[in-house]
A and B are shown apart, each in its own frame.
Chain A
Amino acid sequence: DAKTTQPNSMESNEEEPVHLPCNHSTISGTDYIHWYRQLPSQGPEYVIHGLTSNVNNRMASLAIAEDRKSSTLILHRATLRDAAVYYCILDYGGSQGNLIFGKGTKLSVKP
């Protein structure tokens, strides 16, 4: 199964942009790149996903490298409520199944 590598933790100041990196050098052509986040004491929630092109939604932006071996989740203005663990995962062909979450990146946001 394709794996992802993320930093264990990152810090940001409130109202500043945050760039969360993810490496997935063994990604296959049909793997979707998904990001989820887990707030304290809650189950993970979907943030954004993409395949080849950059994607934007109301929560975040996803920048995908041209070779697709890495991606970056961008929070344009971090708030205290964005403090969470962010998971980057690969989903083969969008068909789900055994999705490997890893440990993610714990984002701390300072006021």
Chain B
Amino acid sequence: GAGVSQSPSNKVTEKGKDVELRCDPISGHTALYWYRQRLGQGLEFLIYFQGNSAPDKSGLPSDRFSAERTGESVSTLTIQRTQQEDSAVYLCASSSGQGGWNEKLFFGSGTQLSVL
């Protein structure tokens, strides 16, 4: 597709269950980001992938959160033993990764996660 695709668009889960959120970036984009957005709040950085470099995991809130990326394509964000405070919209973005003037982010529509 032409844009960043995220699935599922909505996920309802029970407290304590594990969830996986998927992001398909724009083809050819080497940089990929995950953000979390709680209701009425701004975007909270979670993790950043750039090509084959080690990911920047500095924003992951706890060891229950992890993310992987297969080469320069799909990424999966996994939340283990979900808690109610994990309820939020999880946004994925990609960019060309070339840096400089033309670098800009393209966002998906997000996954709304609700933990009951």
* Residues of chain A whose beta carbon lies under 8 Å from any beta carbon of chain B: 32, 34, 36, 41-46, 49, 51, 87, 91, 93-104
Task: Compute how far the CA of A45 lies from the CA of B106 in the bound complex, rounded to whole angstroms.
Answer: 7
* Contact status A43-B107, CB under 8 Å: yes
**5 A-B pairs with least C-beta separation:** A43-B107, A101-B43, A103-B42, A95-B99, A94-B100
Task: Compute how far the CA of A49 lies from the CA of B59 in the bound complex, rounded to whole angstroms.
Answer: 24
* Contact status A43-B56, CB under 8 Å: no
* Contact status A95-B42, CB under 8 Å: no
A44 contact set on B, CB distance < 8 A: 43, 91, 93, 105, 107
Q: Tell me which of A46, A51, A93, A102 contacts B104 (CB under 8 A).
A: A46
Query: Would you give 10 A-B contacts (Cβ < 8 Å), ordered by A?
Result: A43-B4, A43-B93, A44-B91, A49-B104, A93-B99, A95-B100, A96-B103, A96-B105, A101-B42, A104-B42
Q: Give me 14 other A-B pairs in contact (C-beta within 8 A), A51-B101, A98-B56 excluded.
A: A32-B101, A32-B103, A43-B93, A43-B109, A44-B107, A94-B102, A96-B48, A96-B50, A96-B97, A96-B105, A97-B56, A98-B45, A101-B42, A102-B42
Expressed in whole angstroms, the minimum distance between the Cβ of A88 and any Cβ of chain B is 11
Size range of the interface on B?
Answer: 20 to 34
Expressed in whole angstroms, the minimum distance between the Cβ of A41 and any Cβ of chain B is 8
In this complex, what residue of A is CB-closest to B106? Answer: A46
* Contact status B95-A96, CB under 8 Å: yes
The yes or no answer to B62 lying at the interface (CB within 8 A) is: no
B4 contact set on A, CB distance < 8 A: 43
Expressed in whole angstroms, the minimum distance between the Cβ of A99 and any Cβ of chain B is 7
Q: Mark B50-87, 1 if CB is under 8 A from A, else 0.
A: 10000010110000000000000000000000000000
Task: Compute how far the CA of A74 lies from the CA of B88 in the bound complex, rounded to whole angstroms.
Answer: 31
A97 contact set on B, CB distance < 8 A: 48, 50, 56
A42 contact set on B, CB distance < 8 A: 109-110
Given contacts A43-B91, A43-B93, whether A95 and B103 have CB atoms under 8 Å apart is: yes
B95 contact set on A, CB distance < 8 A: 96
B93 contact set on A, CB distance < 8 A: 43-44
